[in-house]
């Protein structure tokens, strides 16, 4: 198990996050996070998940602050509708 990293759960309430659109959104968020990440303020997208029946999507970001997560989403053109500090996020090692 890795040491705990600060994580944030992002929520988007929209029916648009389906299939290829979700993949494109994840790629855009990842590219934006990479471009904004610095040694002093690293950020990475860990996961983006859609729940089509509820018209909601979630993202898990590893970052030093909610502000950088919010800025990443805004610069990606996918503004977060809610950003919450997450706790007890377990990242599994690849098999």
In the chain, what are the domain boundaries?
Answer: 7-86
Q: Which CATH number fits domain 7-86: 3.30.70.3090, 3.40.190.10, 3.40.50.150, 3.40.50.10310?
A: 3.30.70.3090
59 three-class SS: strand
Q: How many CA atoms lie within 13 A of 71 on its CB side?
A: 15
- Cβ-defined contacts of 13-21 (< 8 Å, 24+): 13/55, 13/56, 13/81, 14/55, 14/56, 14/57, 15/52, 15/55, 17/48, 17/50, 17/52, 17/56, 17/57, 18/50, 18/52
Indicate whether this model's pTM tops 0.95.
no
Residue 94 has pLDDT above 80, yes or no: no
What pLDDT digit, counting tens, does each position of 49-64 carry?
999 889 999 999 999 9
């Amino acid at each position: 198990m890795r040491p705990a990293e600060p994580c944030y759960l992002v929520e988007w309430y929209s029916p648009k996050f389906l299939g290829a659109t979700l993949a494109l959104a994840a790629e855009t968020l990842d590219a934006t996070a990479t471009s904004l990440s610095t040694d002093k303020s690293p950020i990475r997208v860990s996961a983006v998940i859609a729940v089509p029946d509820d018209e909601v999507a979630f993202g898990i970001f590893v970052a030093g602050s909610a502000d950088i997560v919010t800025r990443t989403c805004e610069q990606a053109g996918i503004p977060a509708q809610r950003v919450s500090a997450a706790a007890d996020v377990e990242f599994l090692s690849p098999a």
